Amino acid sequence: MDHVEHLTVENDRWDLLAWTYYGDAYLYEPILVANPEVPIRPFLEAGIRLRVPVLQNSAPSDQGLPPWKRARA
């Protein structure tokens, strides 16, 4: 599986990493699975090297956007 590396900064969070890399804060599970040695806590310490999997076909979600900014079906 292809991945990119992310070096955490103080107070990084799993959901914020998912938002940054995938455009969807709810897609944090692949990052958790790719880093089983990292404790699951609300905030990450600075200086941790994380593997962030590159997801295929991961279009950013428009969930949470107002209706006029969502993609039209």
In DSSP terms, which residues pair with 12 in a beta bridge?
Answer: 44
pTM, 2 dp:
0.73
- Confidence check: pLDDT of 20 > 80: yes
Query: What mean pLDDT do residues 47-55 have?
Result: 96
Choice between 65 and 44, residue whose per-residue pLDDT is larger: 44
Q: Which residue has the higher pLDDT, 72 or 55?
A: 55
Cβ–Cβ < 8 Å for 51, 70: no
Secondary structure of residue 4 in the 3-state scheme? strand
Residue 68's pLDDT is 76
Does residue 66 or residue 22 have the better pLDDT?
Answer: 22
